[in-house]
């Protein structure tokens, strides 16, 4: 997604900032989800 924003005329600085924020937010959500462990998985 970062390359698309640059090639469609976006600013390089804002594109890099958006990529960095997206990575940080995604990392936080994945870390919080993984810390729950397998006990919170869907039981079938």
The contacts of residue 18 (CB under 8 Å, 6+ apart) are 2, 5
Query: What is the per-residue pLDDT for 8?
Result: 76
- 33 pLDDT higher than 90: no
Query: How confident is the prediction for the chain on average, in pLDDT?
Result: 79
pLDDT for res 15: 83
Report pLDDT for 9.
77
* C-alpha dist (Å) from residue 23 to 3, 7, 38, 44: 14, 20, 24, 32
Q: Which residues contact 5 (CB under 8 A, 6 or more apart)?
A: 14, 15, 18
Q: What is the pLDDT of residues 11-28, one digit of tens each?
A: 888 888 888 999 999 999
What is the spatial distance between Cα 13 and Cα 20, in angstroms, rounded to a whole number?
Answer: 11
pTM of the predicted protein model: 0.61
Other beta carbons within 10 angstroms of residue 15's beta carbon come to 18
């Amino acid at each position: 997604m970062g390359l698309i924003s640059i090639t469609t005329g976006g600013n390089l600085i804002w594109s890099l900032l958006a990529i960095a924020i997206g990575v940080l937010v995604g990392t936080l959500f994945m870390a919080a989800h993984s810390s729950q462990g397998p006990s919170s998985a869907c039981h079938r």
